[in-house]
Amino acid sequence: MTIEPTPDRGPKLRVRRIHFDYPEGSLDRHFVGGDLVMSHVIAYLSATFPEGEEFFVRSVRRYADSITDPELAQQVRGFIGQEITHGREHRELNERLQQMGYPTRREERSTRWVLHAYERLLPPLTCLAITAALEHFTAVFAETLLQDERAQDLLGSTEVRSMLLWHAVEESEHRAVAFDVYRSVGGAEFRRIAAMCAILVLFGTSIAVNSTVSLLGDRATRSPVRLAKSIAAIRHTPFVSRTVRRRVRDYLKPGFHPDNVDNSALLEHWTTELFGTNGSLTDHLH
């Protein structure tokens, strides 16, 4: 089997000191464009991020002392800083969503239990392979949000939109770090691909089951017409498009690397748009 050379690593990852606020009344109950199902799906995904980011950090940090490439070691430090910040900001959003009626606290506890079970039962290298697989998922979804105006329009002009755009930029910036750590410590292609196969089943099932449970607690689901329209709209969402499915499946190819898809122009545009001189999020930075 031939593994393609690792592409040149990008610049040093910046850990942005940033904060978002969600005052009471600033978000509609169904904050994703008024869409019933997508609001519960995004709320569930947000609930998984704090514990998920901590799992990613632990999985990568276990191998930090084994990294001999100084550029990768620097990338790892940036990755850890960015992920810790993501977890903190999603916890604040999750508290606001809990107050709005979403079961984010319960979903955070469930995510914590599952991820700690992985760490108890699986070898550390497999946990790192799971991290690399999930990082690919989040990067593909992040870049879909950054590239597709339909995805951005779903979030309107709320603080959630601002936070998710920031998160998406940083997920795209560090999308290859866990993958490169896995490869640098001798992770095999078979384990990497097997981890993604498992994640495709487990994570997809988790999203479907937990979003359904969340929906069952929402009075709006008692409107069969609204619920049916929202379910029918799922197949048109940019996040399940043919391009997204292809990019996720690409991970299963031997020799794959996240940077086979060039994201430099995308990052340059959004870094300027959000954090440039007149960037829309410069006032969120500390």
Q: Tell me the per-residue pLDDT of 41-78, one tens digit each, with 9 for 90 and over.
A: 999 999 999 999 999 999 999 999 999 999 999 999 99
Q: How far apart are CA 146 and CA 164, in angstroms?
A: 10
Are 32 and 39 contacting, i.e. CB atoms less than 8 angstroms apart? yes
Angle of helix 124-147 relative to helix 189-216, nearest 10 degrees?
Answer: 60
- Chain-centroid distance of CA 151 in Å reads 15
Domain segments of the chain as ranges? 36-275
Token digits of residue 129? 């392979």
pLDDT at 49: 97
Judged by phi (left if over 0) then psi (alpha if -120 to 50, else beta), residue 153 lies in alpha
CA separation for the pair 164, 167 (Å, rounded): 5
Residue 91 and residue 12: Cα distance in Å, rounded? 26
Per-residue pLDDT of the chain (286 residues; tens, 9 = 90+): 444 445 555 557 999 999 999 998 889 999 999 999 999 999 999 999 999 999 999 999 999 999 999 999 999 999 999 999 999 999 999 999 999 999 999 999 999 999 999 999 999 999 999 999 999 999 999 999 999 999 999 888 899 999 999 999 999 999 999 999 999 999 999 999 999 999 999 999 999 999 999 999 999 999 999 999 999 999 899 999 999 999 999 999 999 999 999 999 999 999 999 999 999 999 999 8
* Residues composing the chain: 286
